[in-house]
Amino acid sequence: MTQRLHLVFGGELIDPSKNAFKDVDAIDIVGMFPNYDAAYNAWKAAAQRTVDNAHMRYYIAHIHRLRDEETEASPTEELDN
């Protein structure tokens, strides 16, 4: 069975209309999840916890899209060479 890993993370943005973090060292890594539903639930809980701060944003990153198991080396692996 193929895993569809998802990373949930967030933090305070410089400007709410952009996606640049104010302090990259302070990014909140909520966790890695085995499917989108679990990631969505974690994202929603983190977003609701910080709803009073308009500069806080949480995201779901589709980690499984970074790696193509069908090819010998994915584009991200090529960067290390």
> Where do the H-state alpha helices sit in the chain?
36-49, 75-78
Dist CA 32 CA 29 (whole Å): 9
| Residue 47, pLDDT score | 95
- pLDDT of 40 > 70? The answer is yes
Over residues 49-77, the pLDDT tens digits come to 999 999 999 999 998 777 665 655 545 44
Cβ neighbour number for residue 47 with a 10 Å cutoff? 16
Let me know the angle formed at the C-alpha of 65 by 49 and 75, rounded to the nearest 5 degrees: 130
Over residues 4-29, the pLDDT tens digits come to 899 999 999 999 999 999 999 999 99
Q: What is the CATH number of domain 6-78?
A: 3.30.70.2400
SS3 state at 54: coil
Taking the whole predicted model, whether its pTM rises above 0.85 is answered as no
| Residue 75, pLDDT score | 53
CB 8 within 8 A of CB 46: yes
Dist CA 59 CA 51 (whole Å): 14
